[in-house]
Structure 1
Amino acid sequence: MTEQYRSRTERRKMKKNPKKTKRKKGMVKRIFTALLLIFLIFFIAGTVTVFAMLRGTPELNPELLKDPVSSNIYDKDDEEIATVSGEENREFASIQDTPELVQNATLAIEDVRFREHFGLDIRRIGGAVLANFREGFGSEGASTITQQVIKRSFLTPEKTLKRKVQEAYLAVKLEQNYSKDQILEMYLNKIYYGKGAYGIKTAAETYFQKELDELTLSEAALLAGLPQRPNYYDPTKNPEAAEKRRNTVIAAMVKYGFINEAQAEEAKEIKVADMLNPKEKEPRKYEAFIDQVIREIEEVEGLSERDIYESGLKIYTTLDVSAQENTEKTLKDDAMFPDDKFQAGVVLVDTETGEVRAIGGGRNKKKGNFNYAIQSKRQPGSAIKPILDYGPAIEHLKWSTGKIIKDEKLVINGHEIRNWDRSHRGQVSMRKALEQSYNVPAVNTFLEVGADKAKEFAANLGIEPKEELEPAYAIGGFKHGISPLQLAGAYAAFGNEGIYHKPHTVRKIVFPDGREIDNTPEPVAAMSDYTAYMITDMLKDVVRKGTGTRARVPNLPMAGKTGTTNPPPNITHGTTDGWFAGYTTRYAAAVWTGYDKTTQEQYVKEGSTIAQRIFKDVMSHASEGIDTPDFKKPDSVIEVALEAGTEKKPSPFTPKDKIVYELFVRGTGPSGISQTYNKLGAPTGLSASYNEESNSITLSWNHAKEGNVSFAISMSVDGGEATSLPSTGGLSISVPNVQAGSTYQFQVVAIDESTNQKSDPASASIKIPDPTDEEETPPENTEPEPPTNEEEQPSPPHNDNQEQENGNNNNNGENGEKTDQEKKKPGDQTNEENENTETNTKPEQPPTPPRKEEEE
């Protein structure tokens, strides 16, 4: 009853509100209709969009399904230098001749549902859509083997929605016109496996020198993993990465039931390096340079190495053919190297643009060989000092080139930092420390700058250590090292007013449809112009008179730095690496030399000497016939005279040879005037006396000596050329065997032995009596006298006409004039037997510091 009652009650309520029920039904209907309209609109819009995208889709051309389109490479002057095509290294293998093991390895890693889908893998597309929604379009692909055949044959490699739609459309058409075996055969013969090898058959011969039916599981898995990134997974260059990729393929084969766990474990135990038996190939022209071109193509979004061989690209590079050929010629000159195993890597770049002009990848470089200019990551030694030490000090602390740095015993974490000559100087200027490549001042500079600032400065120059920097990095003790390519780019920024351009070999890429990609990197203001110039000015001294003199090219304004690294602990002689990096306003270059492995028999015996010689040859050739201006000092830099060994201005008494000129950031400068040198007093009371008995002159003087003072004496006779007498630490000397009738002039100068400072001279002169010049005295009585038996005695000589030259104390020696001594009467005893002269001179005016000589 209750239920019936309630039911009747509800029915009554419904009867009372019929309009409300109708309104609800109407609203639902309208919402459904609106959603349907929205869906239809989106569907129509999507359909129209898809058809618009399909407009211009190429036809399925059977010829294009077989052969790739060659690419052309051009030099800096847009002259064609090479044509590259996979056709030059391709052998066809039918699907019947391709073992099931090889097919399964490829399907497991590339498209496991290949034999089930219709050209598109819907499940895979769903996963890719989610990934692209989370991380952005292009973050993950969903391409099937069928789609990859289409992409390699007909379409450009760009990652756009339009290209993806066209790819999907053509993939479905391809599935409708060809069998699964035919499509897989196309893929296995078209795909690129690295080292110029197209197709699985060619790849087997390239890496193992085997036929397809001879391949093991481990070898088949290795080949199947290469197409994703052929250059990166190249087992001859990156065996660790290749082995990791091979194991990924093996794991996929287990997952999808192609092999069991036991087979997988057995295959994984084999080292990739032990599997390889690479086939020797003839080198192509400019091989080392094209190596880097390939790497840069791979870095362009949407492109890979295989696009060079099969996409019909026009690749415009920065290559200078003349510089490249000269670099290769230099590295082939056996007379320059100690033995055949000694290696070298060279990179030459344009200082202003970062465009790579030449690459020397090694001696006797062959196709696919290790490229020492690009791949080699070696410790840079002292070549890093401008980048991690002195550059940051100028940039962040505004140090001058005359900054005084401690050069004393330095121990860090129990390890002593040593200079190359195993000595210390107490303190040394930054210029001298860099010029002579002292380690202790460099580490002290790094510690004062701070590791974070140093790392930031280096990163702006393209050198980015991932780990935290330790003091050992200040002198090149890197954990992973850097390449000549990186170092050349970093040094170029010093010669380009602090503007860094990433070194690059590719200017632009032109696709068959006319689309272009500009590959020129954006410039980076890596440092202030004052930092670049001040480092350059110091590095010029390295080449002019420091450790880098062997790299110097006559009449070419250039700067540079050497670098060497210590051998392993068990080797007590030689070095491991020899570097030289340098630059002009036109070009910059970096050279590495050394062995693959340093041993007791194989080590660098000449430090950086060979690297300097290579640099000189490469730089002189590149600069021949080109105007190379000197580095221009910016307005932010001033030149100031300093007293050597101090950060102060010279005093008026600083010797000329103790005055140096250093660079300061404008707005900074030396504080105060040096008090090292005070005026050194001249000798006083200088007198010269003649001793008739010994026929000698005694020269004596007084001096208030303080410290280690000696006296330099010069003498001239009768106005002739002055000669030096032995110096003395006493206050008198004796001059023997003098000539009668001659006038002797003397000058005595006090010298401070500790500072080499000299006083004003004191002067004196004396005339030696000559008996032949004496005159007879006339008789007083003119009357005749009676003759006597006694002989007539000569009268004493008169002194009225005898002159002595004395300095006039009143003129202080300003004009060097002397006055005559007053005539003496016959009875005078003063100075009658010992004639002497004393001259005091006025102190000379402080010397004017010499101007700094212009360097060549």
Structure 2
Amino acid sequence: MTDYQSRTERRRAEKTTKGKNTKRPIFKRLTGIALIVLFVTILAGTATTAAYILDAPPLDPDELVFAEGATVYDMNNQEVGKLQGTENRTYRDIEEMPEHLKNAFIAVEDTRFYDHGGIDLYRIGGAITANITDGFGAEGASTITQQLVKQAFLSTDQTLKRKVQEQWLSLQMERQYSKDEILEMYLNISYFDSGAWGVGEASIRYFNKEDLSELTIADAAVLAAIPRRPSYYNPDSNPEAAEERRNLILSMLEDEALITSDEAEEARSIDIEDQLDFTPANNDFAYQSFVDHVMEEVESIDGFETIDLYAAGFDIYTTLEPDAQQYAETVIQSDEYIHQYPDDDLFQVGFTLLDTQTGAIRAIVGNRQESEAERGWNHATAASGQPGSTVKPLLDYGPAIDHLQWSTGEQIVDAPHEYSDGTTITNYSGNYSGSVSMREALVRSLNIPAVKAMQEVGLENAQSFAESLGLTFENNIEESYALGGFSDGVSSLDMAGAYAAFGNDGIYNEPHSVRKIVFRDGQEIDLNPESERAMNDYTAYMMSDMLKGVVNDPAGTGRRANVDDLPLAGKTGTSNFSQEERDRYGVPDGGVPDIWFNGYTTRYTAAVWTGYGDGRGSGYLAEGEEQQIARDIFRHMMAHVHSGDETEDFSRPDSICGDSELFVCGTEPTVPQQDDSSERDSEQPEEENDVDDPLEEDTEEETPDEPIEEAPDDESVDEPIEEESTDDSTEEEETEEESIDDSAEEEETEEEPADEETDEPTEEAPEDEEPEGPPEEQPEEEPNDSDENTEDNGDDDADGEDAESDENDEDEDEDTED
């Protein structure tokens, strides 16, 4: 027994001993808890795995032979059809397949196919390592057997349950079927895009070879490339990617000594486009353009990139409105309603109809010749042409209202102007209107006020506003974008989505064609997108109020698209050829490449593009009735879908004040509007109308790389401006100054109208709001129709801007303006 010298020493020793004695029991307890947790986890995992296995579907041989394609339903949950067709399926026995065809698939999909029992543990380890070192998804571990099971029996969702069932069924399949039987079923169930199901149909589709023994080593490598990503590696639509993948597979075959180096080199030397003999599928699926987009939308979902929709077996619930789709196809693909279609197979139409409130796509027509459109180029959803003046609400005036709180009566001086780089800008007619309101500038589609609006709001703000409406740009925008100078073009789907936000109080909904997907096991994915506020409610309403004038105002460029008694807003758009392009392609004056009309109500939004889809030199829309087709399609469609039901007008928010002109509440002027604009008017130099230089026709070639609406700007650098002798006007002003008394306010009041009248007296003739233009100029509008047709439409553009264009014969050479 230890002899302690004091009570304190004893207590300290007892405390130390007590601590030592308790450490081991705590460690034991923690170890015991960990073992219990591990045991429970294993037990729970085992129970869950067992439950998943018991719930797995049976191995039905019928499913292995012909897997069922996805079923498509419309907005009313009525079946539209299945994404499959026995005419596109040809089952082939393994004996018909040459060795190099089988080897190509094994080399790229499952090199140890003949060595594993359905699950390749060695490959799983390699995939884990690759995903750690090269990033998730760098390498997959599914064997051919697993891919067969997944396509034939299971949903495509990435869940633990599906993965457990896939592995279990793969093990069972290896026990019930031989390797050759499994490979045969796999090669017959795989999807090869372009409606081809199985290698037999793919051989016919891409090489026009019904006998599989005729397939070369290069052919086999092309086919083996497709199932991994069918639409991406489609050799007909994406030959570069397919050729790169083909050559990779040839190298794999060479590395495995399945072909010789000479055979590999010979196959690699073949240009893939020379290798193909493509035969389009004879697919009579109803509403093909719409279904094509549905398939593209589904394939863009994460985890669905490699799904074979012709063997998926799930249900796709879409937003399709069958009556609207059928009517759109009739209007666009026949001459029943529109009789001025060009007699030219290259002429195309891209049409999109949306639900304004939700962004749900109700109808799509992507080609005039629908029988040739199966999984082909869809002019409704693919960028087709430059948008022309349809971008002015999106890049110019919309941002100005949203960021600067401009009123609809904001005064902008329409006078000679330049881009920041010094390039001259003019209006279509080469004439100017002096101080105009934003409303008038948009209704008459004047160019200079639009560019000034973008310059004042700033490129960054303009681009941000348009991007919030779903538009995308490869690079930062430039000032030429203010008039539609897009280098890559836009689609009618994008434009419909953007315009719909104006009719939906500024709320943007991404256009979508799929509501949900329901799998075989009852699981479903909700695919309705989230709504986002893209602009203030006052911006949306003020824009809609102004765009009503485009179709209702006598000076509006879109009157032909109007539907009686329907609260409708919209905007025209026209691109054009540069003079260099006219000379190169033989395009006459007045011919244009693209005509647009985008418009909306509170219920529906529609965007229509008309033009030539095979490049700028493939054709042109002649002035006159051909340039009215977009408006006519829009009018027919909107009248049809709104028939029988009353459509509410756009709802005015409390954030707006004003009557004839609208203001954001709190920004109303405290003095009369004309006083607000007097400073702006003074910016316009009187000598602008004294220019008396002769027209130089060849100045257009200064900017040949901008085939957009502002192309006439180049011509009009030296173009004579509408002349009213400023000497006379000076005399007028002097007379007025002598006749008035010394009051400064009266003197200012007298001088202002004189300035405006001096600038553009005849140009304002058709405008009700500027009666000072001489009425005797108005009869000149009628013979000016041909010139105005090159702008945006025929009689629809008989506005103040263009009323003078016939006074200068040189205007006949001007490019299209809108």
1:325-336 matches, cutoff 5 A: 325-334=326-335, 335-336=339-340
Match for 2:377: what amino acid? F
Question: Measured at CA, do residues 676 and 67 of structure 1 come closer, stay the same or move farther in structure 2, by a change above 3 Å?
Answer: closer
Question: Measured at CA, do residues 601 and 527 of structure 1 come closer, stay the same or move farther in structure 2, by a change above 3 Å?
Answer: closer
Alpha-carbon offset, residue 271 of structure 1: 3.8
Report how many residues are paired: 651
- Counterparts of 1:247 and 1:427, CA distance in 2: 64
SS of residue matched to 1:288: helix
Is structure 2 residue 560 aligned with structure 1 residue 550? yes
- Counterparts of 2:275 and 2:81, CA distance in 1: 33
Note if contact 1:442-1:475 (Cα within 8 Å) is conserved in structure 2: yes
Number of the residue aligned with 1:359: 364
Match for 1:180: what amino acid? K
Alpha-carbon offset, residue 358 of structure 1: 1.0
Match for 1:571: what amino acid? R
Is structure 2 residue 388 aligned with structure 1 residue 381? yes
Match for 2:450: what amino acid? A
Question: Measured at CA, do residues 677 and 596 of structure 1 come closer, stay the same or move farther in structure 2, by a change above 3 Å?
Answer: closer
Number of the residue aligned with 1:656: none
Note if contact 1:361-1:372 (Cα within 8 Å) is conserved in structure 2: yes
Number of the residue aligned with 2:151: 152
Match for 1:330: what amino acid? V
Note if contact 1:86-1:198 (Cα within 8 Å) is conserved in structure 2: no
Number of the residue aligned with 1:500: 508
1:252-331 matches, cutoff 5 A: 252-259=252-259, 263-280=263-280, 281-303=282-304, 306-331=307-332
Note if contact 1:86-1:197 (Cα within 8 Å) is conserved in structure 2: no
Match for 1:105: what amino acid? A
Number of the residue aligned with 2:341: 337
Q: Give aligned-pair identity as a percent.
A: 46
Question: Measured at CA, do residues 355 and 636 of structure 1 come closer, stay the same or move farther in structure 2, by a change above 3 Å?
Answer: same
Number of the residue aligned with 1:622: 641
Is structure 2 residue 192 aligned with structure 1 residue 193? yes
Mean alpha-carbon deviation: is it higher for 620-629 or for 133-142? 133-142
Number of the residue aligned with 1:479: 487
Question: Measured at CA, do residues 452 and 258 of structure 1 come closer, stay the same or move farther in structure 2, by a change above 3 Å?
Answer: farther
1:62-461 matches, cutoff 5 A: 62-129=61-128, 141-211=140-210, 212-259=212-259, 263-280=263-280, 281-303=282-304, 306-334=307-335, 335-340=339-344, 341-366=346-371, 367-407=374-414, 408-413=416-421, 415-461=423-469
- Counterparts of 1:219 and 1:435, CA distance in 2: 58
Match for 2:65: what amino acid? K
Question: Measured at CA, do residues 466 and 637 of structure 1 come closer, stay the same or move farther in structure 2, by a change above 3 Å?
Answer: same
Alpha-carbon offset, residue 218 of structure 1: 3.2
Alpha-carbon offset, residue 434 of structure 1: 1.5
- CA RMSD for the aligned pairs? 3.4
SS of residue matched to 2:162: helix
* Runs of 5+ consecutive residues of structure 1 not aligned to the other structure: 1-22, 641-660, 679-704, 711-728, 730-749, 758-856
TM-score (norm. length: structure 2)? 0.73
Which digits, 9 at most, give the CA deviation of each residue in 1:466-518, with x for residues without a partner? 31111122222222222111111111111011111111112222222222222
Number of the residue aligned with 2:547: 539
Note if contact 1:68-1:310 (Cα within 8 Å) is conserved in structure 2: yes
Note if contact 1:708-1:753 (Cα within 8 Å) is conserved in structure 2: no
Alpha-carbon offset, residue 595 of structure 1: 0.8
- Counterparts of 2:668 and 2:138, CA distance in 1: 55
Which structure has the larger Rg over C-alpha atoms?
A: 1
Number of the residue aligned with 1:784: none
SS of residue matched to 1:169: helix
SS of residue matched to 1:358: strand
Q: Which has the higher helix share?
A: 2
1:587-598 matches, cutoff 5 A: 587-598=604-615
Number of the residue aligned with 2:496: 488
Is structure 2 residue 56 aligned with structure 1 residue 57? yes
Alpha-carbon offset, residue 205 of structure 1: 0.6
Number of the residue aligned with 2:629: 610
Alpha-carbon offset, residue 291 of structure 1: 0.7
SS of residue matched to 1:432: helix
Mean alpha-carbon deviation: is it higher for 311-320 or for 179-188? 311-320
Alpha-carbon offset, residue 122 of structure 1: 1.9
Alpha-carbon offset, residue 582 of structure 1: 0.5
Note if contact 2:547-2:570 (Cα within 8 Å) is conserved in structure 1: yes
- Counterparts of 2:265 and 2:670, CA distance in 1: 73
Which digits, 9 at most, give the CA deviation of each residue in 1:67-86, with x for residues without a partner? 21244322222222223335
- Counterparts of 1:292 and 1:388, CA distance in 2: 27
Which digits, 9 at most, give the CA deviation of each residue in 1:758-808, with x for residues without a partner? xxxxxxxxxxxxxxxxxxxxxxxxxxxxxxxxxxxxxxxxxxxxxxxxxxx
Note if contact 1:579-1:608 (Cα within 8 Å) is conserved in structure 2: no
- Counterparts of 2:675 and 2:230, CA distance in 1: 69
Alpha-carbon offset, residue 32 of structure 1: 10
- Counterparts of 2:671 and 2:147, CA distance in 1: 75
Which digits, 9 at most, give the CA deviation of each residue in 1:633-666, with x for residues without a partner? 11111125xxxxxxxxxxxxxxxxxxxx321111
Alpha-carbon offset, residue 533 of structure 1: 0.7
Alpha-carbon offset, residue 146 of structure 1: 0.6
- Counterparts of 1:156 and 1:753, CA distance in 2: 74
Alpha-carbon offset, residue 132 of structure 1: 6.2
SS of residue matched to 1:571: helix
SS of residue matched to 1:509: strand
Alpha-carbon offset, residue 266 of structure 1: 4.3
Question: Measured at CA, do residues 115 and 52 of structure 1 come closer, stay the same or move farther in structure 2, by a change above 3 Å?
Answer: same
Note if contact 2:384-2:613 (Cα within 8 Å) is conserved in structure 1: no
1:525-536 matches, cutoff 5 A: 525-536=533-544
Among 541, 560, 582, the alignment partner of 1:571 is 582
Match for 1:596: what amino acid? G
Match for 1:543: what amino acid? V
Question: Measured at CA, do residues 172 and 76 of structure 1 come closer, stay the same or move farther in structure 2, by a change above 3 Å?
Answer: same
Alpha-carbon offset, residue 402 of structure 1: 1.7
- Counterparts of 1:207 and 1:566, CA distance in 2: 38
Match for 1:368: what amino acid? R
Question: Measured at CA, do residues 608 and 538 of structure 1 come closer, stay the same or move farther in structure 2, by a change above 3 Å?
Answer: farther
Which digits, 9 at most, give the CA deviation of each residue in 1:802-835, with x for residues without a partner? xxxxxxxxxxxxxxxxxxxxxxxxxxxxxxxxxx
- Counterparts of 1:110 and 1:524, CA distance in 2: 42
- Counterparts of 1:709 and 1:320, CA distance in 2: 68
- Counterparts of 1:42 and 1:629, CA distance in 2: 60
Question: Measured at CA, do residues 428 and 266 of structure 1 come closer, stay the same or move farther in structure 2, by a change above 3 Å?
Answer: farther
- Counterparts of 1:503 and 1:461, CA distance in 2: 11
Alpha-carbon offset, residue 171 of structure 1: 0.9
Number of the residue aligned with 1:754: 754
Note if contact 1:67-1:87 (Cα within 8 Å) is conserved in structure 2: no
Match for 2:235: what amino acid? P
Which digits, 9 at most, give the CA deviation of each residue in 1:608-637, with x for residues without a partner? 522111111111111111211211211111
Number of the residue aligned with 1:672: 671
Q: Which has the higher strand share?
A: 1
1:791-802 matches, cutoff 5 A: none
- Counterparts of 2:120 and 2:342, CA distance in 1: 60
SS of residue matched to 1:64: helix
Number of the residue aligned with 1:3: none
TM-score (norm. length: structure 1)? 0.70
Q: Which has the higher contact order (CA 8 A, sep 6+)?
A: 2
Alpha-carbon offset, residue 751 of structure 1: 13
Note if contact 2:548-2:568 (Cα within 8 Å) is conserved in structure 1: yes
Which digits, 9 at most, give the CA deviation of each residue in 1:315-338, with x for residues without a partner? 222211111111111112343311
